[in-house]
Each structure stands twice: as structure tokens, then as C-alpha cells.
Amino acid sequence: MEMHEIRYFLAMCEALNFRRAAVRCNISQPALTKGIQKLEEKLGGQLFRRERNLTHLTDFGRLIRPYLEEIQSRTSAAQSAAHDFLYLDKAPLNIGIMVSIGPLRFTRFLSEFQRDNPGIELWLHEGTLEELSEKLMSGAIDLAIMGLPQPLGGRFDAMHLYAERYVAVFARGHRYEGSNQIPFSDLVTEPYIDRLSCEARALVLKQWELHETELVCTHRSHRDDWVQGLVLAGFGMAVMPEFSISAMGLKSRVLAEPELSRNVSLVSVAGRRFSPSTAKFVKDVKGFRWTPPPGP
């Protein structure tokens, strides 16, 4: 069954006249007749009773009509959805965000992006490095924001956004408050709260080994909000990227000897063509000033 045949049929249902229906469809009357005949042939029954001024739908035609109306309605909806997607109106955009990345550095960008692109519906998906890599490959997400201790290999392109240092976080009144920075050797004597989703976790834990000190780990969690809550409650200190701190009242100092940092990047699948909304996001990310100029 062809779409134009359905269109001709529905025009005939309205006009109940071959000539007038043809005018509505912008075709000649014989073309419309042929179209209706084709449809009748395909459906196996007569749709209209041809009686000059009394041309009308047969019982068979009345039975078929709602189904073909449904097809036309769905087709219009599909065309409308396609238009919205291509012209960035109600266009979905799925972005993966690594669990260890805090919203702090993104709120200004996201606010500008939403203002400039009100038609793009942003969906944020949280996940680990492995989970987001898999979702990128399967197409479940279009882009991912990842913190990378080292460059990604394989089929991925990574666009550098900003670098962030790792800091020690602790509660108010902790002895660290008196220092500008905390050397690792000073870290290993404190009760530690283990961030299981941290991509630098192995590097951090190695410090206890290097300093031949026993690790006193009071709690372990995949969730940064819980880790920060536990630190605030005085259970111990934790190590995390500086822009991942979200809890009010939490204190932090930069880690030193050695310094530890990571690159936050926008990751996409190499060689894969972007959808319009993805292309716009990448363009805006490129144009955004991720590292603010040094203040006065």
C-alpha cells in the first residue's frame, strides 16, 4: 500500500467526488481513479460505490477508513518528530557523566547551552568509565564527560575541557586546616574514606604501601555524596577532585608530593557522524571558556 494511495482515499472520503478529490490532491482525476483502483485491488474489495452525484463509501470502505486515517496520522507525527529532531526542537541529547565528576564546573555551561538551545532536551546518564564506554559504543549515549588519568585508547576521540587537581577533604576543625597543602606522607596517618569509583583510587592507595603504613579505612562507597557526608560527620578524610566537592562546610587542601590531577574531557566515538543536537553541543563546548581567566 502506497502513501499517496492512502492520501487519495482519504481525500475521496471527504470529497465523495473523483474530480474534487483530485483537485485536493493536486493530481489529475484519472490519476486519482487509478490510485483508488490500485488500493481496491490491493485490499481486495470496492471502497467506493460510483454513482455520479451519489458516489459514496461502501461498507468495506467504511471499515477500512479508520485504519488508513490512523496510518496518515502516524505518518504526520513521524514527519513532525523528524522535523523537530533535525531542526533542534524537542531533540533529545544523551550525555554520559562519569560518577566522579561533580556538577560545579558544568552549571554555567549547561545554563548557557539551555538558554541558547531551548529545543534540545538534555538527558544525563551517570556511569563508570567502563559503563559509559559501553554506552557510547552501543549508541545509548551520544557523548560522555569523563575524567581521564591517561588518554583513552580504542575507538574514542577525547576533547580536553579542563584539568583539575586532587585535594584532601576534611571536616571543620581538622588539623589540616592549618596547612596550605597536604603532602601524601601526611595523609597516610589519617583514617581514610575510600571512594570506590575514583579513577585515581589505585594511585592514592599505593601511597600507604609506599610509606609502609597500615591503611585505616573507616568506610567505602561508590557515592561521592555519601563520602562527603561521612567526612563532614568526622569519620575520616577523603581524596577527591577539587571540582567534585558539593557538600557545604567541607574543607579541602591541595595534595602535594606528588601533585595529582586529571583531565576532564568530552568523549565521542571516533568516525561516527554526530546528530544535529550532538553537533551543536560539541560546537558550544568548543566555544566555551572552560578555564576562567585568573581573577584580580
Partner DNA sequence: TTCCCACCTATTGCAGGGGT
Partner DNA sequence: ACCCCTGCAATAGGTGGGAA
Q: Minimum CB separation from DNA for residue 16, in Å?
A: 8
Main-chain dihedrals φ then ψ at residue 84, nearest 5 degrees: -60, -40
Q: Minimum CB separation from DNA for residue 105, in Å?
A: 39
- DSSP annotation of 53 reads G
**Partners of 139 in the beta sheet?**
none
Q: Where do the H-state alpha helices sit in 94-172?
A: 107-116, 129-138
Q: Minimum CB separation from DNA for residue 282, in Å?
A: 23
Q: Minimum CB separation from DNA for residue 64, in Å?
A: 18
- Grid coordinates representing 113 are 547551552
Q: Which residue has the cell 470496492?
A: 46
CA distance 33 to 215: 86
Residues 6+ positions from 4 with CB-CB distance below 8 Å? 25, 35
Comparison of 27 and 285: residue with beta carbon closer to DNA: 27
Comparison of 55 and 263: residue with beta carbon closer to DNA: 55
Comparison of 31 and 282: residue with beta carbon closer to DNA: 31
Q: Minimum CB separation from DNA for residue 270, in Å?
A: 17
Comparison of 42 and 83: residue with beta carbon closer to DNA: 42
Peptide bond just before 183 cis, omega within 30 deg: no
CA distance 276 to 283: 11
**Partners of 124 in the beta sheet?**
95
Comparison of 37 and 114: residue with beta carbon closer to DNA: 37
Comparison of 17 and 261: residue with beta carbon closer to DNA: 17
Nearest-5° Cα angle at 129, 96 to 140:
40
Binding site for DNA (CB under 7 A): 2, 4, 17-19, 27-31, 33-38, 50, 52-53, 55
Q: Minimum CB separation from DNA for residue 56, in Å?
A: 9
